[in-house]
């Protein structure tokens, strides 16, 4: 296994798995952590040469983005608040056409550093659209390696064995971006892992604060946004707060940045605060997943207290199944040991790997299909469960998963 490891432990690492290594998602995540990748809160993975999750993207123009959002940003001096205004449905073709208009296309730039400066300088002008939170996948059903629709991590195994459904957490989502569309500082729901694959288009830039420094970012944000902090202890989960890298540097908050290009994966680790922006028209697919190491994070995750659309996962089954020796202590409210951010995920046992591999093909065979409505426009049907079909006429409020 190979990695471009930096000398400082908390630097973002880039991994280039071989075809053989790429076959086993859970084992490779464990390997990445054995190399210290989780200390940075984020890692980049470049798939083996020739691997493709989809044969062609020429047939997705008629796919409907049910609820694109316009991102209106207010603020100054590196401190901003982002408001998402829901707009009417539009097709991928319409979104791409809009993103390529002079009004919305990215400016000329020499390198990514120059584009980054232009992003923060012009953040409050000309609000972009983001085709975010589209339930679905672009993976072909026969793709088994790193299929975001069926990663077969402990979220899936516990759900299958205990009949616990975790809506909109371990199902895939698509995000169609344009220049300056952004995602604000946050950790994942319940401080889970996340995986993001950039199917096509312009790059995506990411910022991340190492998990061991997450509390420092929270204190900084509360100091700059005291009203928000007073209203909700976990206001960063609202995904509305943008803090520029210049502010982080000024106040000594460690962070790293990385640029994700088409055909590359980004994995975020538990309690890794991250934010970022799109360089232009693109499409990314993402979901959450978990390992045994996440359980301690899930037990201590701080939840938003002011909104109804909050993801809350009962940790009972996870503690009982994977930490049986601590279950009674945890039930009594006495399992309050501080989280060890340096702890790694043990490699899955051969028995568990065989069980997961047996589930994999049947799981992936149930991947999303492109369906046609009476108006001949296509929508994405959610993975495995008709319960999660995203109909363009639905007006139910949904959480925003803007990556």
User: What's the DSSP call for residue 328?
Assistant: H
CA atoms of 88 and 72, how far apart (whole Å) = 16
> pTM of this prediction?
0.87
Q: Specify burial of residue 266 (Cβ count, 10 A radius: 0-12, 13-18, 19+).
A: buried
Per residue in 80-110, pLDDT (tens digit) is: 999 999 999 999 999 999 999 999 999 999 9
Number of Cβ atoms within 10 Å of the Cβ of 223: 10
Q: Average pLDDT, whole number, for the chain?
A: 86
Dihedrals phi, psi of 273, to nearest 5 degrees: -65, 135
Residue 93's H or E segment, with its range, is helix 92-99
pLDDT at 114 over 90: yes
pLDDT at 382 over 50: no
Please answer whether residues 174 and 136 qualify as being in contact, where contact means their C-beta atoms are separated by less than 8 angstroms: yes
Q: State mean pLDDT over 4-11.
A: 54
pLDDT at 393 over 50: no
CA 89 to chain centre: 23
Per residue in 149-202, pLDDT (tens digit) is: 999 999 887 777 666 666 557 789 999 999 999 999 999 999 999 999 999 999
3-state secondary structure 110-171: CCHHHHHHHHHHCCCCCCCEEEEEEECCCCCCCCCCCCCCCCCCHHHHHHHHHCCCCCCCCC
Taken in order 11, 12, 16, 21, the sign of the CA dihedral is positive
Residue 226's H or E segment, with its range, is helix 226-231
Angstrom distances, CA of residue 124 to CA of 24, 116, 151: 43, 14, 38
Specify the fold of 13-356.
Answer: Jelly Rolls (2.60.120)
pLDDT grade for 269, boundaries at 50, 70 and 90: very high
Per residue in 335-378, pLDDT (tens digit) is: 888 999 988 888 765 555 555 444 444 445 344 434 333 344 44
Angstrom distances, CA of residue 255 to CA of 212, 258, 342, 394: 11, 10, 17, 39
């Amino acid at each position: 296994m190979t990695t471009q490891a930096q000398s400082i432990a908390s630097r973002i690492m880039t991994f280039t798995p071989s075809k053989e290594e790429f076959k086993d998602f859970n084992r490779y995540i464990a390997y990445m952590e054995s190399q210290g990748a989780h200390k940075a809160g984020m890692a980049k993975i470049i798939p083996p040469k020739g691997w493709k999750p989809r044969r062609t993207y020429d047939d997705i123009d008629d796919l409907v983005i049910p609820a694109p959002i316009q991102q209106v940003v207010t603020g100054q001096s590196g401190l901003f608040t982002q408001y998402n205004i829901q707009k009417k449905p539009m097709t991928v073709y319409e979104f791409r056409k809009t993103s390529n208009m002079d009004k919305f296309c990215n400016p000329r730039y020499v390198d990514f550093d120059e584009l980054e400066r232009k992003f923060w300088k012009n953040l409050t002008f000309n609000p972009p659209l983001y085709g975010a939170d589209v339930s679905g996948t672009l993976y072909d059903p026969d793709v088994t390696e790193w299929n975001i629709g069926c990663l077969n991590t402990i979220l899936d195994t516990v759900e299958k064995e205990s009949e616990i459904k975790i809506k909109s957490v371990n199902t895939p989502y698509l995000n169609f971006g344009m220049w300056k569309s952004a995602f604000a500082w946050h950790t994942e729901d319940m401080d889970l892992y996340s995986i993001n694959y950039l199917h096509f288009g312009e790059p995506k830039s990411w910022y991340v604060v190492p998990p061991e420094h997450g509390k420092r970012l929270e204190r900084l944000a509360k100091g700059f946004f005291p009203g928000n902090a007073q209203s909700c202890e976990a206001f960063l989960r609202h995904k509305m707060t943008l803090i520029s890298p210049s502010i982080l540097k000024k106040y000594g908050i460690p962070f790293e940045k990385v640029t994700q290009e088409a055909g590359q994966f980004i994995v975020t680790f538990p309690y890794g605060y991250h934010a970022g922006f799109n360089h232009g028209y693109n499409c990314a697919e993402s979901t959450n997943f978990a390992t045994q190491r996440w359980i301690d994070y899930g037990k201590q995750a701080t939840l938003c207290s002011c909104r109804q659309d909050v993801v809350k996962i009962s940790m009972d089954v996870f503690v009982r199944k994977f930490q049986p020796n601590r279950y009674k202590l945890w039930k009594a409210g006495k399992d309050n040991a501080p989280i060890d951010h340096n702890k790694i995920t043990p490699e899955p046992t051969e028995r568990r790997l065989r069980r997961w591999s047996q589930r994999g093909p049947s799981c992936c065979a149930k991947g999303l299909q492109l369906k046609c409505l009476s108006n001949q426009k296509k929508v994405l049907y959610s993975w495995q469960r008709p319960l999660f079909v995203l109909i363009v006429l639905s007006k139910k409020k949904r959480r925003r998963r803007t990556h």
